Amino acid sequence: MKKTIIQERSGGDRKPVGVEVIGLSKSFGSQSVLREINLSIHPGEIFVIMGPSGSGKSVLLRQMAGLDLPSAGSIQIDGHDPANPDTRDRFALALVFQAGALFNSLSVYDNLALYPLEHRLCPKNEIRERVLRALKILSLENAAKKFPSELSGGMKKRVAIARALVMEPQLLLYDEPTSELDPVMSATITEIIATLKNEFKVTSVVVSHDRDLALTIADRVAILMRGKLLFVGTPAELRKATDPAITDFLNPQIDLKKPRYLQLEAS
């Protein structure tokens, strides 16, 4: 197994981190988005969060990254508050934003190289190697000199994932990594997520609508609806779920005789 920068920095001992979500609630003004979420994400597992859009998945992920403060309850990464900068000194944490959040004034190469450069993790030629390797994994070799404004939506997303790979994080949060990608690239990303778990012992939290991804690589799956957790369990348990809200979400039947929008209008 190749040594990661973080291993080198912390003397070779790199433990995956766990995430505890304790009674977490978040509201914006009068709108309550997350309600009393309790979750325990184990070190080193791939945890997939599914749910309809607007159910609060991105908000939950931002809370885990320590970008917003909860209205009530708390989140702990191995017992530390993610919003505290010291925690980010202790663990490398990466968030792949839904829209990429690439640095628009930097080229793709510089976007990737920024983290190791700023943290003085390794000499320049090693950074270069690392960046080129990440670009290659995501078939972005030809985009290194491009700027984010010159990329398509799917390419931006791949650059965002590559940027996270270069960080070699212990906790990797993905916000819909495979949306906007073609089937081959989706499969590649799914494989990367699974490989990282084995190779680098990273804990992954993946927000996704991608059923294949959830059922093939997830260790556990959670379903979030209207700010509440409807289900937490293994993919096998999920397949057996009988709750109509869950089954209808996973296997929506297209029924042209009784279109959904008409039912919605009627109710």
Partner 1 sequence: MKQLNAIFEGLGSAILLTTRAFATLPSAPRIIKRVVEQVFYGGYGSLPIISILSFFIGAVLALQSGISLQNFGAKQLIGTLVGESLVRELGPVMVAILLAGRVGSATTAELASMKVYQEVDALVTMNIPPERFLVLPRLLAVLLYMPVLTIIAIVIGWLGGAVICNYVTFIGVEPAQYFQSMKQFLTTHKMVDGLVKSEIFGFCVILIACNTGLRTRGGPREIGHAVTRAVVFALITILVLDYFITKAQA
Ligand X SMILES: Nc1ncnc2c1ncn2[C@@H]1O[C@H](COP(=O)(O)OP(=O)(O)O)[C@@H](O)[C@H]1O
Residue numbers at the binding site for partner 1 (CB under 8 A): 62, 65-67, 85, 88-89, 92-95, 97, 99, 101-105, 114-115, 118-120, 167
Indicate the helix (H) or strand (E) that contains 57: helix 57-64
The C-alpha atoms of residue 135 and residue 35 are separated, in whole angstroms, by 39
| From 79-87, 95-103, 160-168, 233-241, span contacting Mg ion (CB under 5 A) | 95-103
Nearer to partner 1, 93 or 135 (CB): 93
DSSP code, position 80: B
| From 54-62, 116-124, 129-137, 246-254, span contacting ligand X (CB under 6 A) | 54-62
Q: Are strands 93-96 and 171-175 parallel, antiparallel or unpaired?
A: parallel
33 is a site residue for ligand X (CB under 6 A): yes
- Nearest approach in angstroms of CB 176 to Mg ion is 6
Nearer to partner 1, 23 or 153 (CB): 153
The C-alpha atoms of residue 158 and residue 185 are separated, in whole angstroms, by 9
Find which of ligand X, Mg ion, partner 1, none residue 13 binds, CB within 5 to 8 Å per kind: none
Nearest one of 210, 98, 116, 204 to 160, comparing CA atoms: 98
The C-alpha atoms of residue 25 and residue 37 are separated, in whole angstroms, by 7
The C-alpha atoms of residue 115 and residue 120 are separated, in whole angstroms, by 8
Find which of Mg ion, partner 1, ligand X, none residue 94 binds, CB within 5 to 8 Å per kind: partner 1
58 is a site residue for Mg ion (CB under 5 A): yes
Residue 165 backbone phi and psi in degrees, to 5: -60, -45
- Nearest approach in angstroms of CB 206 to Mg ion is 12
Nearest one of 72, 61, 126 to 99, comparing CA atoms: 61
Residue 121 backbone phi and psi in degrees, to 5: -80, -35
Find which of Mg ion, ligand X, partner 1, none residue 59 binds, CB within 5 to 8 Å per kind: ligand X
Judged by CB under 6 A, which of 30, 53, 152, 242 binds ligand X? 53
58 is a site residue for ligand X (CB under 6 A): yes
The burial of 80, by beta-carbon neighbours within 10 Å (0-12 exposed, 13-18 middle, 19 or more buried), is given as middle
Nearer to Mg ion, 60 or 143 (CB): 60
Instruction: Name the residues that contact ligand X, by CB under 6 A.
Output: 28, 33, 51, 53-59
Instruction: Name the residues that contact Mg ion, by CB under 5 A.
Output: 58, 98
